[in-house]
Amino acid sequence: MSRYIALDIETANLDMEAEGLEFGNPKGWKTSCVCLYDFWIDEGVEMGRGYYYVTDPEDIIKIHPQLAGYAIRPLESLQLDLTNYFKQDYTLVTKNGLGFDLPILAKHINDGGANCDTIIDNYNNSDRHLDICQLLRNQYGFRFSLASLVSGLYGDTDAKTMAASAAPIQWAEKQYQTVLDYCMHDSILTAKVFVDAPTRSFEATGKKNGRSQVMMITPSWT
């Protein structure tokens, strides 16, 4: 049985322009939380469990005692957990991981990352990282957002729970549960798209050079 981990991160940066941040450049980005969704396919059904990583789990649980039931771990343990998954032959699945999430996590933990440079290289160099955004760009020449893929596959019933730009604001306001739930929801949606998209053709909106185009796609992850 094939095993996978879907990964998503949220950042604590409130103002890209003021902080001189750029997408595709990890400099200056600061991780607020990471979510891993450990999933597998059992008789055609996707099943899984989620894990959350933050800098200080105890402080967050003090503010939100209801989070004691969540599997929240210190961010510094992410590197070891990813290594253990790698040793168990897991494949890492991301949505734009190559362009955003993984370069940030590869940085030193004191620089907003998670010390994951070596293990990320291991996944990438062994062809056990599947970035569905990059694979779709290779296949169709357009960039597809997770929201567009989810809408095309499932309608609005599984839509993203909030705009990505709202997550840093919510985090700064100590609305930790809201952001953790949002991050995990995106990890689960990434897993669902990974499992379901190759089994059907559907309409999705792709973007390229500032223009949008609705097209019928049949994704392939190979």
CATH code assigned at 123? 3.30.420
CA distances from 101 to 6, 50, 106 (A): 12, 17, 9
Query: Does any domain span residue 27?
Result: yes
Provide the domain count of the chain: 1
**Residue 168 located in a structural domain:** yes
Query: Residue 33 and residue 180: Cα distance in Å, rounded?
Result: 7
**Range of 99's domain?**
3-136+159-197
Computed on alpha carbons and rounded to an integer, the radius of gyration of the chain in Å comes to 17
Identify residue 47 by its one-letter amino acid code.
M
Q: What does the pLDDT look like over 28-46, one tens digit per residue? A: 999 999 999 999 887 766 7
pLDDT at residue 145 is higher than 90: yes
Q: What's residue 216's pLDDT?
A: 97
Residue 162 pLDDT exceeds 90: no
For residues 34 and 8, give the distance between their C-alpha atoms in angstroms, rounded to a whole number.
6
Integer CA distances (angstroms), 88 to 82, 119, 208, in order: 10, 13, 38
131: confidence class by pLDDT, cuts 50, 70, 90:
very high
Residue 28 lies inside a defined structural domain of this protein = yes
- Asked if residues 191 and 46 have their Cβ atoms less than 8 Å apart, the reply is yes
Average pLDDT score over residue span 72-100: 97
Domain-located, residue 51: yes
Q: Is residue 53 part of a domain?
A: yes
Q: What is the pLDDT of residue 157?
A: 63
- Is residue 24 one of the residues assigned to a domain? yes
Q: How far apart are CA 204 and CA 218, in angstroms?
A: 10
Q: What is the mean pLDDT of the chain?
A: 94
Question: Which residue(s) pair with 54 in the sheet?
Answer: 33, 74
Type of residue found at 94: T
Q: What is the pLDDT of residue 2?
A: 85
What is the identity of the amino acid at 40? W
| pLDDT score of 158 | 63
Residue 155: what pLDDT? 87
- 165 or 51, which is more confident? 51
Residue with more model confidence, 41 or 168:
168
Strands (E), the chain: 3-11, 31-42, 45-54, 72-74, 91-94, 129-131, 143-144, 202-208, 211-217
Mean pLDDT computed over 158-169? 82
pLDDT at 45: 67
Whether residue 94 is contained in a domain is answered as: yes
- pLDDT tens profile 49-64: 999 999 999 999 999 9
Indicate whether 17 belongs to any domain: yes
Alpha-carbon span 78 to 116, nearest angstrom:
8
pLDDT above 70 covers what percent of the chain?
97
